[in-house]
Structure 1
Amino acid sequence: MSLFGSLYVGASGLQTSQNALNTTAHNMANVDTTGYTRQQILFGTRSYNILSVNASSVAYQQTGLGVYYSQTRQVRDEFLDKTYRKESGRSAFYETNTQVIEEVEDLFGEFQGAEFSEALENLWTAIEELAKDPCKATNQNLFVTRSKEFLQRALLVYQGLSDQQDNLNTQVKADVETLNKYGEQLVEINKQIMKIETGGTENANDLRDKRNQILDEMAKLGDISYSEDIYGVVTVRFEGVDFIRSDSINKIELYQDKTTGFYTPYWSQLANYKTVNGEKVLDLEASRVYDPTQTISSDMNTDIGSMRALLLARGEKRATYQEVDPATVDIENYNTNISQSLLMNIQAEFDYLIKSVTTKINEVLKNAAEEATLSDPSSTYLRDEDGKPYQLFEMIANDDAVGFTVGNIVINEDLVAEPALLSFRLKDGTEDKATMQKLLDVLSDESYTLNPNLKTKTNLMKYYSSLISQVSNTGEANKEIAAAQVNTVNEAFAAREQVVGVFSDEEMEFMIKFQNAYNASSRYINVINEMIEHIISTLGR
């Protein structure tokens, strides 16, 4: 090789070393940047000049033309990326569940300064006092007052549960909007990456960092899978359905129930419509993003994403006692649609408690009036002016399909105005002790279960405690899983950071290496330059 040709070899060393230094400096500048991926420069050898070809030689006689910059690539591990994203999605699922349960515990623990259990205990105390002296006006008034207080606090608790459903419903809408926004950003980034990398001379690494950061955030919302084609374009599937294609997005839409206001995410491209009473109605079953009847299981990957957790905790409706009452329960429907929803399950069990207390007290009063009539047809004992038995609790809407749900019960205003109408004094002037005992039995009779899947019987006083214990146990189980999952995510993140993260000490080593390489190329050029100058100076004489 000529001396002038050797200058190009040295120049190639200077250029590649400078590129390597720039890349190292870029890494150092982004050492604390969230989502940044360490970049690595690749070198290649330029083509060789063949000086001579000898058939008897083992190899050609060649001379090198130097080094060239090949590409600056990201250092990532696809397996670690997928592991981290799946585990962070699972962590988001259990963290969301834990937050919902903590809110429920706060609701039951202290609502507007008074625990609901206090209202239940006060009602029991009022019945006990009434049983001691049922004809005393003070005790009658206390019984009616405590019953009204019990109903008011029950309504507050149930309304609190409903408000939580509404809050979760708002979060569902926000999550869907966020997911669609991420999708739009990915489509735009895909276009930019494809435009930059089409020439094959440059990698859009910073755009890829942004895209990977979006994929990390999307994974927290739900189960995603993705792949990258030869053009650098990423396609994404969300919950098993195409979401992002090369240059388009299949947005998730929201259907809002007219009765509850609850949102249901669905795929517009899969939507079917049917005609009901001349009106075009969306068939959700064919297009909904999540199947609420799916069993939650890590093996089936159905416990991934905050959006699924929100929908599951919220449920599909306002649940009532009819979902758990042995007289009306459909066990298959309960196990499929109610039991997995935290709020619907609690609503149903709580409503069953209120329904049982109110209807049983009404039943005692009605039976007492009817028994008095059996012995004396002209008896007006515990009957109003129309001859109807007094009922302490009444339905707002006299609809058996609704029944004695919390929101459909009011206290009898006649009894509130005049508690003495509940005189509990028989025709012979004696106190109605038998009815008093039946009232005591209302809260102490052990013939109730929390839900159809439990066999242990309890009374209405212990029922509420059992309900609270169930919530607490569920909360503890979710907290333990959430804590374990956080550790799993942290381990996956740390393993990934070992690959993608920037470590300042390591980058300093690279910087020193590339500086020395740059200096070596510079000295090489100086030597060649001095040789050329010496030859020219010598020949010039």
Structure 2
Amino acid sequence: QINTYQVSLNTEISDQVDKINEIGEKIAFYNQQIVKIEAAGVENANDYRDARNQLLDELSTYVNFTFQEDEKGGMQVYIEQALFVDGGLNYHLGCETMPGTGFYKVRWLDNGYGDAFDTSEAYSNEKKTDVGSLRGVLTARGLKIADYSDMPKQPVKDDYIDDAGVFDETAYKVAMNDYNAQVKRYNNTTGNSIITQIQAQFDQLVHNVVKQINDAFAPNLEVSGDKVDLDGATTGTTEKGDAFDLTKLTGGTYKILDVRNCPVGTDDNATIGTEVFSRGQVDRYQKITLDSQIYTTDAEGNQIGLAQKTVDADGNETYTLYLYNEENENDIDWMYTLNSLVINKDLIADYSLLEVKANPEQGLEGAYAFGGNLFQDLLNSWDKELGVLDPNSLAAYDFDDYYTNMIGGLGVRGNGWNSMVDYQKSQVESIEDKRQQVNGVSSDEELVNMMLYQHAYNAASRYINTIDNMLQYLIERLG
């Protein structure tokens, strides 16, 4: 519903641009008529001037503009410092679709100024960028459909401490500088719109819920490449039949399915690694078939097999490594976001794939996963810290409190905007009343003035008649 409302605002932008262009054409027309009529210096084009003033009043509801009148009676109008009307000539605004979003940005079509509005910074009263309904709709709509990736994530100090307990202060400062730059960008874009802000907040909530559920049914191990033993193996085979270079696994850090502790499905194959929620086009794991087992070492120095062992009817052993496909925030198909999220189609087709049984590796053949606390751990995850609602705040919430504060914050902000709208309306009405007292025509006031002038005329007439009679009397009597 939020996305639908956002699209409707995009349509409103196009409608307002058309209306502004129409006003510009009419102002240019009246400029021509005023100059023509007043050229001889005999009369004023009052009707045309009144009509032009009304158009300026209407234009002021859409955009912030300035104007000046030349000595011939023509007018120049500037929108955001760009020439809009110059005497009998007017320039036009147009809507251009921004790549990858389908949203409009407003550009000048024929005066060479390019973008009509700077949308890279938050609106400002000081810079007069908070004036006009077109600016307001552009701000409210935002620049894109926001998601969790638009919420800056503050670096955690513990991530910059190595195994020896040494803190990498330089790397942490670099990460913090990048984070502060992201916060500034957030405040100027996503956080500048109440719509994109709530989109990002809600998507962050859903993203974390989905991760908690998927990680409960298909838990991962984080493996450090320097602790991987390939045991002589060099090549594996992907599901597509392509060769996979196993030496890639000996560098960096990555995630794989915990084949020893994950629950299994109730189907005959005891399937593992089935996620509940899927990304748009990317599987949770890249499955790599190996000829032999590969290992890692845990904190106690124990050797752990990383691949799932299977034995066919002929007794042949094969091993499958489930390499987790990390999210890529630059590609929506690789993200667990509302904009691409679906329930796993394999689960919809076959519910038995849902991993609710204990892993046979734990010695609980045929048992359900209740004994492994799968569902209790899932419930406990609701008490874990999800994150902050706003990068400008340090307050972090668990899942329940996050949702409560998200809705409460939206209500408080909406109520604040409603109060501001009511105040602005009262201010406009007050100013309009004062203007009408100067420019407007009050029938009651005009009637009073007519009666006043009529009585004054009658009094003056009687005075003249009296003087005339006195003079006539004097002339007749004394002449």
Normalised TM-score (structure 1): 0.59
Tell me, which stretches of 5 or more residues in structure 1 are unaligned? 1-159, 272-285, 528-541
- Alignment pair present for 1:423 and 2:423: no
What are the within-5 Å matches in structure 2 for residues 352-363 of structure 1? 352-363=204-215
Answer whether contact 1:321 1:355 (CA < 8 A) is retained. Answer: yes
Rate the CA distance shift 1:372–1:243 in 2: closer, same or farther, 3 A: closer
Q: Deviations over 1:177-209 (max 9, x none)?
A: 000100000011111112222222222222222
Query: SS at the partner of 1:352?
Result: helix
What are the within-5 Å matches in structure 2 for residues 492-531 of structure 1? 492-512=431-451
Identity of aligned residues (%): 31
User: What is the root-mean-square deviation of aligned Cα atoms in Å?
Assistant: 3.3
- Alignment pair present for 1:245 and 2:129: no
Distance 1:516 1:306 in 2: 50
2:201 to 346, 349, 353: 349
Answer whether contact 2:260 2:359 (CA < 8 A) is retained. Answer: no
What are the within-5 Å matches in structure 2 for residues 172-187 of structure 1? 172-187=13-28
User: How far 1:407 moved relative to its partner?
Assistant: 2.5
Rate the CA distance shift 1:188–1:420 in 2: closer, same or farther, 3 A: same
Answer whether contact 2:264 2:271 (CA < 8 A) is retained. Answer: no
1:394 to 248, 256, 278: 278
Rate the CA distance shift 1:197–1:515 in 2: closer, same or farther, 3 A: farther
User: How far 1:246 moved relative to its partner?
Assistant: 1.0
What are the within-5 Å matches in structure 2 for residues 94-493 of structure 1? 160-269=1-110, 271=112, 287-324=114-151, 326=153, 330-367=182-219, 373-374=259-260, 381-382=264-265, 385=269, 388-398=272-282, 400=328, 401-402=331-332, 403-421=335-353, 422-425=355-358, 427=360, 428=364, 429=367, 431-493=370-432
Q: Which has the higher strand share?
A: 2
Q: State the one-letter code of the partner of 2:338.
A: V
Query: SS at the partner of 1:339?
Result: helix
Q: State the one-letter code of the partner of 2:347.
A: L
User: How far 1:383 moved relative to its partner?
Assistant: 9.1
Answer whether contact 1:361 1:442 (CA < 8 A) is retained. Answer: no
User: How far 1:520 moved relative to its partner?
Assistant: 9.9
Distance 1:179 1:372 in 2: 61
Distance 1:521 1:244 in 2: 52
**In the alignment, which residue of structure 1 is the partner of 2:224?**
none
**In the alignment, which residue of structure 2 is the partner of 1:17?**
none
Aligned residues: 353
Q: Which has the higher helix share?
A: 1
Query: SS at the partner of 2:96?
Result: strand
Distance 1:368 1:304 in 2: 51
Q: Deviations over 1:445-504 (max 9, x none)?
A: 123212322221112223222221121111111111111111211111111111001122
Answer whether contact 2:152 2:186 (CA < 8 A) is retained. Answer: no
User: How far 1:319 moved relative to its partner?
Assistant: 1.3
**In the alignment, which residue of structure 2 is the partner of 1:22?**
none
Distance 1:526 1:261 in 2: 83
Q: Deviations over 1:273-320 (max 9, x none)?
A: xxxxxxxxxxxxx72111113332323322110000100111111111
Query: SS at the partner of 1:423?
Result: strand
Q: Deviations over 1:211-240 (max 9, x none)?
A: 111111100001111122222222211122
Answer whether contact 1:325 1:352 (CA < 8 A) is retained. Answer: no
Answer whether contact 1:366 1:391 (CA < 8 A) is retained. Answer: yes
Q: State the one-letter code of the partner of 1:483.
A: D
Query: SS at the partner of 2:149?
Result: helix
Distance 1:215 1:204 in 2: 17
User: How far 1:172 moved relative to its partner?
Assistant: 0.4
Distance 1:417 1:321 in 2: 29
Tell me, which stretches of 5 or more residues in structure 2 are unaligned? 156-178, 222-255, 283-326, 467-479
Normalised TM-score (structure 2): 0.66
Distance 1:313 1:214 in 2: 26
Distance 2:146 2:220 in 1: 33
Distance 1:257 1:297 in 2: 23
User: How far 1:372 moved relative to its partner?
Assistant: 7.1
Distance 2:129 2:88 in 1: 29
